[in-house]
Amino acid sequence: MPSTQTIQTDIVVIGSGAAGLAAAVIAAHLGARVHLIEKSDLIGGTSAWSGGWIWCPGNPHAAKAGYENPRAAAETYLRALLGNHFDPERIGAFLDGAPEMVGFFETNTSLAFDGGFPIPDTYGHLPGAGLGGRSVIAKPFDGRKLGRNIRLLRRPLRETSFRGMTIQAGADLRAFMTLTRSFSAFRHVTKRVLRHVFDLAFHGRGMDLRNGNALTARLLHSALEKGVTFRLGTEALELLTEAGRVSGVLLTDGTRLEARNGVILATGGFPHAQTLPEGTSLTSALTPLAVPSATGGGLTLATDAGAALKTDQSQPAAFCPVSLVPWPDETPKPFPHIIERGKPGLIGVLPNGARFCNEGLGYHDYVEALLAATPKGEKPRSWLVCDHRFLRRYGLGIVRPAPLPWQPWARMGYLKTAPTIEALAETCGISPEGLRATVTEWNRSASQGEDPAFHRGTTPYMRLQGDPEHGPNPCVAPILKAPFFAVEVIPGCFGTFAGIAANGHAQALRADGAPIEGLYAAGADAASPFGGFYPAGGINLGPALTFGYLAARHAVTGA
């Protein structure tokens, strides 16, 4: 029979991604009784699948390393990029709160960070753009510290891990990319692989957790230590209100959770919503990389309670180009193209064979350009094209570089290959004349390290994506050595930018701008503070953690 019990608590958090876990940990640390509701049976949400990078201008790790990252410079950069979408209150709250958040977690919880010192902001030509030091990432975490609770943690995606082993951007990734060219890299990779094999044999999963899996594992560990109560496999049916204030939540099993301090929504936005919230414009052409449970439940709860949605962003979602991996035992799954697009010797083309963007800019920019270049009524499609030298050195999509074989992916139909550019075009359904003309023009300039059409390799961000061992331009090389290869790439998204209107305390707002007492929104449930732009890597997790922190602090202390 359905439960009819009423439970008294202080804070209810709905959703267990980075924002929800951060809010739960902070509230519990401040002395609140916390119940965290998660409708799936696993903890971590899409955050557990992410690369784990966190954009955090002014973070204490950068300061300790001697990076000058004044708050004013970050604000100047965001003003220049966001234009009319710049929200002074929420941007100010983020820039002030993000460094505090990092310091608070490192002082009081199991969450510890490493600095991403070499990582520049995406648009280096804009005033105030950071050349490094604005990013952090959770330190690797030994999953054995979770004990039996490791079973609660969402596993990494098969597509973005190596048999369940996560590989972290930076020195770890460089070692895997160069293991055949460096003894130290070979030694590092061997050590990691042997440990992973051991963990699979004795624990049934990888235990050397990195990226978003390390972030969510550290938060889960902290939440358990601080006494957060988890209710998995259940869903919030409606918010309880009293005299205009949100006072709790009714669960689908009939349980009433009465929350003295309020409810924090962090359900992951609406990338998998069957029916879009009113006013939003998420194209059906996008393939979500988010967990299936991110269906907009938080937005529905909020609007039923009187909250307004903010839907006027420059773009409705955090775009990412994806290819579909045809696994033999299940439906095709998306692979996010993050790493290889900026490497020298690859171009992205349309069905007519023409390039349409600077492939080395951000993943958000690639999809934005693809959507803009696709005639109305046509399916947005592109192909990443390279030669044999590129494939063996860098890989392409889920196809790993040497020494791992590429032929199985060609047999599966994922990787297209042919002895000539024209034959490759025929195989892919691209215009042979168009592709030959594009590759010829590309090679003419690339042999000199130049890209006069789109200027690859002209900013610090692009150069970081390239190959420092290749010159004169780390992002540009000709496509010459047969056989030639291509992977079809379509628009995808990590999550949504549109969401619940919120203020600098993460309070949900009514249409007139008044806060709804007792109701908070963080993570992808709240509208992105960056107005639909993608100023740097980590701009989803940075606000998720920061506004989760700010929401919990305000709910418990009023500050």
- pLDDT given for residue 291 in this prediction: 95
Give the helix/strand (H/E) hosting 525. none
Return d(Cα 444, Cα 538) in angstroms, integer: 36
pLDDT tier at 163 (50, 70, 90 boundaries)? confident
pLDDT of residue 2: 56
Domain boundary assignment for the chain? 1-164+205-315+497-559, 165-192, 318-493
Can you spell out the DSSP letters for 149-205? GGGGBPPPPSTTSBTTB---TTHHHHHHHTTTT-HHHHHHHHHHHHHHHHHHHHHSS
For domain 318-493, the CATH class is alpha beta
Query: Is there a common fold for 1-164+205-315+497-559 and 318-493?
Result: no
Picking from 7-21, 106-120, 156-170, 235-249, which range would have the lowest pLDDT averaged per residue?
156-170
Instruction: For residue 495, give the 3-state DSSP assignment.
Output: strand
Q: What is the pLDDT of residues 285-331, one digit of tens each?
A: 799 999 999 999 999 999 999 999 999 999 999 999 999 999 987 89
Q: What is the predicted pLDDT for the residue at 116? A: 84
For residue 287, list its beta bridge partners.
Answer: 492
Is the pLDDT reported for residue 382 higher than 90?
yes
Per-residue pLDDT, 1:
42
pLDDT per residue as tens digits for the range 171-213: 887 888 787 888 888 898 898 889 989 888 999 899 999 999 9
Neighbours of 8 (CB within 10 A): 11
- Indicate the Cα dihedral angle 96, 97, 99, 104, nearest 10°: 140
Residue 128 has pLDDT above 80, yes or no: yes
Asked if residue 385 lies in contact with residue 442, where contact means CB atoms within 8 angstroms, the answer is no
Query: If DSSP codes are grouped into helix, strand and coil, which group holds residue 265?
Result: strand
Averaged confidence pLDDT in the chain: 94
Higher pLDDT, 184 or 539: 539
Tokens of 111: 């969450």
Each residue's pLDDT tens digit, 329-347 = 789 999 999 989 999 999 9
Superfamily in which the 1-164+205-315+497-559 domain is placed by CATH:
FAD/NAD(P)-binding domain (3.50.50.60)
Q: What percent of the chain has pLDDT over 90?
A: 84
Q: Which residues contact 171 (CB under 8 A, 6 or more apart)?
A: none
> Which pLDDT does position 293 carry in this prediction?
94
- Whole-angstrom Cα distance, residue 357 to residue 33? 51
pLDDT at 448 over 90: yes
Half-sphere exposure in the Cβ direction for 485 (13 Å, CA): 24
For residue 120, the one-letter residue type is P
First to last CA, the chain: 42
Q: How far apart (Å, rounded) are the C-alpha atoms in residues 261 and 557?
A: 9
Cβ atoms of residues 218 and 143 within 8 Å: no
Window from 267-276, 422-431, 491-500 with minimum mean pLDDT: 267-276
Q: Are strands 53-55 and 317-325 parallel, antiparallel or unpaired?
A: unpaired
pLDDT at 114 over 60: yes
How confident is the model over 51-94, as pLDDT tens digits? 999 999 999 999 898 888 899 999 999 999 999 999 999 999 99
Specify the higher pLDDT residue, 79 or 162: 79
pLDDT confidence band for 3 (50 / 70 / 90) = low
Phi, psi (deg, nearest 5) at residue 344: -75, 125
pLDDT recorded at residue 492: 96
In tens, the pLDDT along 484-538 reads 999 999 999 999 999 999 999 999 999 999 999 999 999 999 999 999 999 999 9
Give dist(CA 126, CA 122) in Å, integer.
Answer: 9
